[in-house]
């Protein structure tokens, strides 16, 4: 089988307007009032995707490690903002905590995947580093917002329990151990569910992309296995780092709860 990749022309891309039209038409017909939101979301998504495609192409072209790093840092800042926005709480400095968790989680996992497993050379080869780090970051974002949201709501709802544990002479880490467990498990549920059905019900985005891009399906599934474990470890690392940081925010060094933050 020849590796023929169909490269959609701009005119072909324009034909996706048919699919866009279907959504608008159904929204109007069924009175879903989604037209405005969907149009805005569609406009943003198209602009973002074209822009990122262009940016990555430029980074490929410039071929310098620092451009790759600058792009990754920018992506992580945007991810942190999006992650913090998804958490309902208005905890001061939350975006920074989310950024540290996402960045640390991404660095650890990206290093393992690109240096230990794939051994890419040079280490910053944007063709591998950007899509893999981007995928890791996307998962870190989801995990961070799920874990953060749940941990904060557990802290609020279980104030009496935390107070009791502190009074009885337990450390702040021990006092919110159960809240941590609940929050981390909560952030891992989507990944676990996906692992059970992967390949059976759906082909994951990256695998689909690689097959469409002409890669041998066996190679695509090998990559998907790497991605699957990469996602699971990113989720748990990011969630635990964020919760650790939140714990430090909620308690003083003398194991006192900062009531004003609840």
Partner 1 sequence: MIEIKNAFFSHPSQEYLISGLHFTLNKGELIFITGESGCGKSTFLKLLNRLLEPTSGSFELHGQRYSSFDTLKLRRKIQLVPQTPFLTQALVIDNLTLASKPEEDRIEMLMDGFNLSLDILHKSGNELSVGQAQRLCVIRALLLKPEVILLDEPTAALDPKNRSDFRSSFEKIRKDEGIATVWVTHDDPEGMEGKILHMENGKLGN
Contact footprint for partner 1 (CB under 8 A): 160-161, 163-164, 166-171, 252, 254-257, 259-260
211 cis-preceded (ω within 30 degrees of 0) = no
Find the shortest distance in angstroms from Cβ 167 to partner 1: 5
Which residues are paired to 251 by β-bridges? 257
For the bound state, the minimum distance from the C-beta of residue 258 to partner 1, rounded and expressed in Å, comes to: 9
Cβ proximity to partner 1: between 123 and 170 the closer is: 170
**Smallest distance, Å, CB 163 to partner 1?**
7
Residue 197 or 260 with smaller CB distance to partner 1: 260
Residue with tokens 């909620």: 250
**Cβ proximity to partner 1, 119 vs 169, nearer residue:** 169
Backbone dihedral region of 2: left (phi > 0), alpha (psi from -120 to 50 degrees) or beta? beta
CB-CB contact of 246 with 152 (8 Å): yes
Strand partners, 257: 251
Minimum Å gap between C-beta 260 and partner 1 is 5
C-alpha separations of 236 from 91, 96, 117, 155 in Å: 22, 19, 19, 19
CB-nearer residue toward partner 1: 79 or 166: 166
- At closest approach, how far in Å is the CB of 49 from partner 1? 44
Between CA 247 and CA 174 the distance in angstroms is: 11
Residue 220 beta carbon to partner 1: minimum distance, rounded to whole angstroms? 48
Of 102, 109, 130, the closest CA to residue 239 belongs to: 102
Tell me whether residue 3 or residue 169 sits nearer to partner 1 (CB atom).
169
Closer residue to partner 1 (CB): 115 or 163: 163
Q: Which of 124, 108, 2 minimizes the C-alpha distance to 72?
A: 124
């Amino acid at each position: 089988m020849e590796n023929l990749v169909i490269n959609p022309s701009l005119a072909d891309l324009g034909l996706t307007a048919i699919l866009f039209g279907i959504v608008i038409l159904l929204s109007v017909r069924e009175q879903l009032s989604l037209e405005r939101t969907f149009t805005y979301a569609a406009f943003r998504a198209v602009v973002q995707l074209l822009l990122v495609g262009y940016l990555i192409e430029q980074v490929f072209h410039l071929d310098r490690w620092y451009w790759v790093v600058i792009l990754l840092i920018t992506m992580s800042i945007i991810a942190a903002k999006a992650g913090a926005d998804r958490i309902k709480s208005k905890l001061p400095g939350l975006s920074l905590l989310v950024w540290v968790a996402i960045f640390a989680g991404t660095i650890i996992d990206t290093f393992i995947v690109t240096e230990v497993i794939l051994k890419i050379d040079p280490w910053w080869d944007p063709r591998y580093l950007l899509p893999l780090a981007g995928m890791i970051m996307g998962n870190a974002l989801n995990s961070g917002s799920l874990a953060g949201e749940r941990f904060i709501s557990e802290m609020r709802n279980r104030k009496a329990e935390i107070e009791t544990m502190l009074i009885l002479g337990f450390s702040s880490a021990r006092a919110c151990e159960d809240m941590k467990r609940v929050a981390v498990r909560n952030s891992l549920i989507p990944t676990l569910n996906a692992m059970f059905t992967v390949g059976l019900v759906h082909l994951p985005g990256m695998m689909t992309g690689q097959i469409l891009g002409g890669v041998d399906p066996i190679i695509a599934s090998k990559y998907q296995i790497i991605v699957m474990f990469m996602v699971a470890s990113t989720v748990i690392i990011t969630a635990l780092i964020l919760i650790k940081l939140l714990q430090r925010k909620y308690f003083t060094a003398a194991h006192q709860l900062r009531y004003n933050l609840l």
